Structure 1
């Protein structure tokens, strides 16, 4: 387990639109671009083995992209190499962070100085959501999955602990990158669940409106 004292001041940053990592959750990644292969090789040589996931932020009216300020760092906890030199890895979410400065250097990938202040809860035990009413939430989720033609193991979802359920759905549901960022930045599990419900309800209403227009 990584403690606050073990967290480095500078980490490599992997920008990937729509890919959300949350503390205490796991994100599988397929690494094949040369710059990210170099990032992984360098990361595996460090004691912390941390990679910072981050969402790029589109600037209206411009083709330029910047990065959101807040991301989540994950520790490489599993990896395997394919015959053609690609990697399949798993990042285990450790803590969110705030970028304070992008670091330029000789590496082909991006690094950033980061602050971990304000995210101490991420390093603690799993969160509870005492206001979570599971039955109406699952009913809403079934409607959403049916509207999108999505399949899942409903028994496993029903039995999952609150944090695992809410965070897994936040990571896996097909929301826009900006919506994923809102889920990441939610200050508590209850707030993330409320945001998730709002996004699902909006998606269901939007689907109904589109059907009426056709």
Structure 2
């Protein structure tokens, strides 16, 4: 078990091996970053179930280590959080700190998992279609060179999906399941943005 100081932020997810730049301006989260820098530099990114103060948290988040830090004169921080490991909340702790803390189980990841060639091809095909429909400029030569984990987790982290969809991707049990869900989400959101009524409800 691990005791983790958490940063509940709707729409923001972090994956092991990836980075998330954050601007820290609220006093309680400035205190959290200062505390983390004085200890092990680690904080947990997790989404609240509702965008309101004290809202219940989703069960799965990702522990990150503060890498680059820019401390501004007025007490704010610009930081880059480096994803280390997903975690599952066991319970929220009763604390006196201005930021929330949880007791959590760290989840083991299969770092050697790869996609089947047909899965990779299906994903790249759907990603091209989605990017074209959304008007995104993508360097596909760079994309093709990415390994499976960097590709699937990277797109999952930056894709313009709603918080519930991003959470489902984070919770997916393995790379193949996340890839399959990502393809479904790109199809769904692609239809919805084109005004297709079939895209109105995500099942």
**What TM-score do the two structures reach when normalised by structure 2?**
0.87
Correspondence 1:67 to 2:60: no
Maintained 8 Å contact 1:157/1:165:
yes
Question: 2:109 aligned to 121, 124, 128, which one?
Answer: 121
CA deviation digits over 1:159-213, x for unaligned, max 9? 111110111000000001110111001111111100100100111222333499x
Question: 1:194 aligned to 169, 180, 194, which one?
Answer: 180
Find the aligned partners of 1:43 and 1:113 in 2 and give their Cα distance.
Answer: 16
Question: 2:148 aligned to 147, 162, 180, which one?
Answer: 162
Find the aligned partners of 1:12 and 1:199 in 2 and give their Cα distance.
Answer: 31
Find the aligned partners of 1:75 and 1:132 in 2 and give their Cα distance.
Answer: 35
Question: 2:75 aligned to 65, 85, 94, which one?
Answer: 85
Maintained 8 Å contact 2:123/2:179:
no
Which blocks of at least 5 consecutive residues in structure 2 are unaligned? Answer: 199-203
| Alignment size in residue pairs | 198
Maintained 8 Å contact 2:119/2:179:
no
Correspondence for 1:46: 39
**SS of the residue 2:45 aligns to:** strand
Correspondence 1:171 to 2:171: no
Find the aligned partners of 1:33 and 1:64 in 2 and give their Cα distance.
Answer: 15
Maintained 8 Å contact 2:18/2:154:
yes
**SS of the residue 1:67 aligns to:** coil
Correspondence 1:148 to 2:138: no
Correspondence 1:103 to 2:89: no
Correspondence for 2:4: 11
Flag as ranges the 4+ runs of structure 1 deviating above 4 A. none
Correspondence 1:57 to 2:45: no
